[in-house]
């Protein structure tokens, strides 16, 4: 693995840790971190009350860059991975479902965007 790739991997881990700590402080409970499937990955799966939230975390130099880093292909991968998570966790069948973004920008608090991806559920 190249030096740049290792640095990006560490930044990703740091951003996900910061996002999970931020969401925990907001009353969410962490169910999964870096949930990987053959179809894609979900950075965080959290729960608050009767809502399961699939969270994509993006760390960039600005909020606009972080928001723009989510493309249609990434959304499709997230939806496919969420379907697999739900299939493996049938106890979540009665919960409300949502896709959120947490944008991480240096020297700023994380920016949580609820219901950022309109899912087909």
Q: Where are the domains of the chain?
A: 3-113
Q: Tens of pLDDT along 36-49?
A: 999 889 999 999 99
Whether residue 4 has pLDDT greater than 50: yes
| Bridge pairing between strands 29-37 and 51-59 | unpaired
Q: Which of 121, 35, 29, 119 is nearest to 84 (CA)?
A: 35
CA distance 33 to 13: 10
Does the pLDDT at position 119 exceed 60?
no
CATH of 3-113, one of 1.10.3430.10, 1.10.3720.10, 3.40.1350.10, 2.40.50.140: 3.40.1350.10
Predicted local distance difference test score (pLDDT) of residue 75: 85
Residues 82-107 pLDDT 10s: 999 999 999 998 999 999 999 999 99
For 117, the token pair is 């991806």
The span from the CA of 21 to the CA of 114, in Å, is 16
Contact 44, 13 (CB under 8 A): no
User: What pLDDT score does 2 carry?
Assistant: 83
What is the reported pTM? 0.90
């Amino acid at each position: 693995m190249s030096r740049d790739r290792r640095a990006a991997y560490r930044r990703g881990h740091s951003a996900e840790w910061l996002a999970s700590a931020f969401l925990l402080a907001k009353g969410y409970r962490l169910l999964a971190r870096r949930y990987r499937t053959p179809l894609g990955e979900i950075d965080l799966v959290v729960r608050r009350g009767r809502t399961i939230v699939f969270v994509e975390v993006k760390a960039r130099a600005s909020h606009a860059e972080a928001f723009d880093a989510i493309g249609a292909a990434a959304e499709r991968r997230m939806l496919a991975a969420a379907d697999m998570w739900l299939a493996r966790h049938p106890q979540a069948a009665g919960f409300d479902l949502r896709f959120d973004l947490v944008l991480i920008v240096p020297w700023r608090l994380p920016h949580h965007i609820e219901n950022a991806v309109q899912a087909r559920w």
